[in-house]
Amino acid sequence: MRRLNNFQGTADIIEYVIWPRSLIGWVVAFFLMLCGLLLFSEIYNFFIDYSKIHAWRSVQGHIISMKLDKSKRKVNLNYEYKIDGTEYVGDKIGVARMRWHDVSQRKISDLEHIFNDSKPITVKYNPDNNMDSVYAFDSDDIILIAFIALPPIVLFCSFLFVLAGKLRSHW
């Protein structure tokens, strides 16, 4: 094991920590690179969806039916909303526009109160296609995704920089 004072800088320490030294290390590195690419792709799609939905118009609607799976903390909603006198029904929830959405126990309780009291909800709809809508109740989803994704992305980029440095020093 190398002593800390044998390193010339921070880049040397990072290289020593993340650079694979055996076949198993390379298999793990390849697997992590693949996971990093998939994660980056999913986050990219999430941000694209978020920016698209963020630009959509908002309208008030009401939840007309709700299914809960409290053991898995998932919710499925059907909501209605009216645009220019025409009623529409939607069932997509959250930025990812899924039909079943993972929610906290507190959010389940909030949704039950909204449904039971027939309180209005804010529905975002596509102005080019009024039938395309989403109940994006958690605008903080994007912050959570960014927070969770930051460490793997930093590790992925660090490995790419170390790899580029290794390739540059060999040529």
- Residue in this structure with the two tokens 């930051």, named with its chain if needed: 150
pLDDT per residue as tens digits for the range 151-162: 777 777 777 787
Q: What is the mean pLDDT of residues 68-78?
A: 83
What SS3 class is residue 165? helix
pLDDT of 3 strictly over 60: no
Q: What is the mean pLDDT of the chain?
A: 80
Alpha carbon distance 122, 63 (integer Å): 10
77-96: per-residue pLDDT in tens?
Answer: 899 999 999 999 999 887 76
Q: Are 84 and 96 within 8 A, CB to CB?
A: no
**pLDDT at position 10 over 80:** no
Q: Where are the beta strands (DSSP E) in 12-153?
A: 57-69, 74-83, 86-90, 101-102, 121-126, 129-134
Which of 69-78, 107-116, 118-127 is modeled with the greatest confidence?
A: 118-127
pLDDT classification of 7: cutoffs 50, 70, 90: low
C-alpha angle 45-49-53 in degrees, rounded to nearest 5? 175
Residue type at position 114: I
